[in-house]
Amino acid sequence: MALTFTDLVEVDLGKLATAVSDWKKAVDGLKKSAESARTGMQAKSDSARWAGVNATVTREFVARTAKEIADLHTEANSVYQVLEDGHTELQSLQKQMITAVQDDAAKLGIRVQDIGEGKVRCFFPHVRGDTDERTRDQLDGKQALEDRINRILAHAAEIDASVARALARSHGNDPYNAGHSKYESLNDAEVERALELAHKGDKMSDAELRELNRLLRFNSAEKDGEFATEFYQGLGGPEKALQFYAEMSIDGTGGDATKTRLDAVRDLQKVMGYTLANATDPDHTHHLPDSWGAEFRRLGTQQIGWEPGQWNKPYGYQVLGGLLRYGNYDPRFINPIAEHITQLHKKDPYFFLSNKPDGSPDIYGFNPSGKLGSGNDPLNSVLEALGHSPEASEKFFTQPPTAYNEDGTVKKDGKLGFDSYLDLLTDKKFEWTADTNSANILADEDRAKTIMGYGPDALGHALEAATTGLPYGSDAVSPPHSKEAADIYHKLVERYGASPEDLDDSPMRDSLGNITADYMRDVQGAFMGDGGNVAGTHGASAHLGNFDAGSNPEGLSPGVLKNFLGAVGKDPDAYGAIITSQESVTTDLVNDAFHHADRYKELAPEIANRVNAGGEIAGIMAESRTQAVVDEKIASDAEFNEGVATADKWAGRIIGMGIGKIPVGGEVAGWVVEDIQESVVENFTRDSTPEALKDRDAFLEQQQASSAQAIYDATYTAAKEAGYDDVNAQSQATAAKREIEDSYGLGRQRAGSSHS
């Protein structure tokens, strides 16, 4: 019977605490008894000069009695350790559950219902007269809470089952014989069970595989790395670990696998990846030795088999790549592997494709997730690993490369022919491969285009992590930019701003849009020129302003930043991220000006200076959107509307950086973020009907009016919040609106609009 929501919330863990205390007393008493038996009774028996029957029977009886007392101590200690850890874990989970229900659910106006079988459902109770209509944020919040509560329940059920199993094994179900399974902690029992299941390989039932996944999921993030390390060591070493994952992955992706099995193997891919990342972190108390990394590199170019007489064998890196796609890896482990794989690809892009299972579905192989390729090309896999590993990714793109031999050992005095992986991988001539099992991808032009974009897309994810300090796709506020991270972004702007055509229809553009959004203060500061200091930076400066030998020797050539924005903004998701972050930074700058009005002789010119750059960026984005939708027809306007709708996280991230004067996390910050989100969606969502797209100029003018109105709203709200009366607030907002209209036109012009 599954542990239920009601069980966890209502159980009195005080009784378990009392049991723990009682067992501790028993352990202490038995320890004294065992020591007394060993040093007293048995010692005397061993030294006694017995003859005849006493020399054998009596001495053997005394020894057996002393051992049994010692075994009783061992068993009692196992019970105590398991119960203590179980109590600690369950107590923490119960507190998390109570917080989720009594605090979080209450704040959201949500009720939690126990539906049995270890599950709950969250719902908004009906209130008489209410329409029951909910916003997307409300619905997302409800689902997130339901998922969190169900994860807590699943974790509690795993702890409960592990404790029960460990207690049974410690006792051994033998009333006349103590000392069976020995555990120093609940962790020992969980590792034992996980390995017991793993050693069954593909003979595991679906239920057993789900159990293994739960054990890995709930233990893979332990801060000391003990479970993760013991699990991988228990598999038998690097090659055995690869063989196990390969066997399971093929079992779950083969043609006769059920959907249930495939889902379980997809889950295994994730949790084994998270566990490997934990086990290979040298800063953890428990971690795998450096030799594991060296052995993985050696095995990378070796074929790995797991069945007698196996004919088609994958390379080690193809198998390992499936695991590396999940987890935040330490650079000391992942970067040598990433360098080795990249160098192998540069030498022969098709080395790893020679043994792909031609004609099989793309899901077949070692990337059950099905995301960004079949997994035959490990370069895509390791770039995805870097995309989840910010510190490693930053170092990969900024530190001097190390040359490796084919067997993964360091090549002394090796020459690579390139200065950095950033230069190599962003080179237009770099050869990406088609990571697919299909024998003929040219038969479907659209699909071929998607497949050839897997590598650049993964590269974008890695660059996103390197420049923002967060795993790609994260909703968190990024840490202050390091000098190295800011330098990567500077080089990206320089690279693609000088040759914007290289980004035409590139899958990297959404990531470049996210990076630009994270560096929006640098971007707006560059457009503000001499007055750009007021925009500030989030950490180190990316030096995006125009080059000046005296004032900005690290700057860019004129027009480079605008060209870069124009090329990136043609992607709907990038457009949404840039527009939302631009509106957020502009709003923050205007708020800051009103709150420090006493610093300026006249406030209107300062407001104009602060909104000007935003208007120019909005103009560039409008031109990009128009070119993409009307001129080049590479995206639909509906896709741009969706890009705007899904970019709302950027308002919270920009305000959350805490550079302006809006109190982060306070009530004011909350309504400012909501205002920005509503303003962006309202003002930048277009009429996507064919009739609305016929007139190019009208389409652009509509965007100008929307941008200007967004700034009017932000300025008016900021003025009112700062204490201005309605007349003066409107006056300031109108002036800001005019400034946006003027700078918007300049942005369009500089974006290179020249259409007849």
Q: Same structural domain for residues 293 and 431?
A: yes
Q: Same structural domain for residues 429 and 548?
A: no
User: Are 511 and 460 a contacting pair, CB within 8 Å?
Assistant: yes
Could you tell me which residues are beta bridge partners of residue 315? 303
Could you tell me which residues are beta bridge partners of residue 113? 121
Euclidean distance between CA atoms 493 and 621, whole angstroms: 16
* 209 occurs within a structural domain: no
* 563 occurs within a structural domain: yes
- Take residue 692 and report the two structure tokens written for it: 């609305």
10 Å Cβ neighbour count for 650?
A: 28
Q: Same structural domain for residues 509 and 449?
A: no
Euclidean distance between CA atoms 98 and 93, whole angstroms: 9
Could you tell me which residues are beta bridge partners of residue 410? 404
Q: In terms of C-beta density within 10 A (0-12 exposed, 13-18 middle, 19 or more buried), how is residue 431 classed? A: exposed
Q: Same structural domain for residues 162 and 271?
A: no
Max CA separation in the chain (angstroms)? 118
Residues 6+ apart with CB under 8 A from 145: 100, 104, 105, 108, 110, 122
* 667 occurs within a structural domain: yes
Number of domains in the chain: 3
Residues 6+ apart with CB under 8 A from 429: none
Sign of CA dihedral 597, 599, 601, 604: negative
Q: Which helix (H) or strand (E) holds 116?
A: strand 111-116
Q: Residue for token digits 């895509």?
A: 380
Using DSSP's 3-state secondary structure scheme, residue 732 falls into helix
* 185 occurs within a structural domain: no
What per-residue string of b and e applies to 517-536 under the rule 16 or more CB within 10 Å gives b?
Answer: bbbbbbbbbbbbeeebebbb
Q: Same structural domain for residues 245 and 163?
A: no
Euclidean distance between CA atoms 748 and 724, whole angstroms: 33
- Which ranges constitute the DSSP H helices of 520-602? 520-528, 560-568, 572-595
- Take residue 631 and report the two structure tokens written for it: 């001129």
pLDDT of residue 16: 75
Closest CA to 318 of 380, 386, 234, 402: 380
pLDDT of residue 671: 64
**DSSP letters spanning 226-241:** HHHHHHHHHHTSHHHH
> Could you say which residues of the chain have pLDDT below 50?
37, 40, 42, 44-46, 59, 62, 66, 753-756
Residues 6+ apart with CB under 8 A from 24: 80, 84
Domain that holds residue 306: 241-458
Closest CA to 650 of 680, 621, 684, 629: 680
* 465 occurs within a structural domain: no
Q: Same structural domain for residues 395 and 543?
A: no
Closest CA to 265 of 196, 201, 360: 201
User: Are 732 and 607 a contacting pair, CB within 8 Å?
Assistant: yes
* 671 occurs within a structural domain: yes
* 476 occurs within a structural domain: no
Closest CA to 634 of 728, 739, 532, 505: 505
Sign of CA dihedral 371, 375, 379, 383: positive
pLDDT of residue 47: 54
Could you tell me which residues are beta bridge partners of residue 116? 119
User: Are 132 and 126 a contacting pair, CB within 8 Å?
Assistant: yes
What per-residue string of b and e applies to 438-477 under the rule 16 or more CB within 10 Å gives b?
Answer: beeeeeeeeebeebbbbbbbbbbbbbbbbbbbbbbebeeb
Q: Same structural domain for residues 627 and 733?
A: yes
Q: Residue for token digits 């209450």?
A: 106
**DSSP letters spanning 242-274:** HHHHHHHHHHHHSTT--HHHHHHHHHHHHHHHH
Closest CA to 534 of 599, 578, 483, 602: 599
* 315 occurs within a structural domain: yes
Using DSSP's 3-state secondary structure scheme, residue 176 falls into coil
What per-residue string of b and e applies to 185-215 under the rule 16 or more CB within 10 Å gives b?
Answer: bbbbbbbbbbbebbeeebebeeeebbbbbbb
Angle between the N-to-C axes of helices 206-219 and 226-235, in degrees from 0 to 180, rounded to the nearest 10:
140
From residue 40, give the alpha-carbon distance in Å to each of 31, 66, 617.
14, 10, 87
**pLDDT digits over 292-322, tens only?**
999 999 999 999 999 998 988 999 999 999 9
pLDDT of residue 135: 78
pLDDT of residue 175: 57
- Take residue 744 and report the two structure tokens written for it: 């918007």
pLDDT of residue 319: 98
pLDDT of residue 3: 81
User: Are 537 and 602 a contacting pair, CB within 8 Å?
Assistant: no
Closest CA to 532 of 422, 646, 432, 614: 614
Q: Same structural domain for residues 50 and 108?
A: yes
- Take residue 181 and report the two structure tokens written for it: 């399974």
Sign of CA dihedral 574, 580, 582, 588: negative
Supply the pTM of this predicted model. 0.85
User: Are 741 and 618 a contacting pair, CB within 8 Å?
Assistant: no
Using DSSP's 3-state secondary structure scheme, residue 113 falls into strand
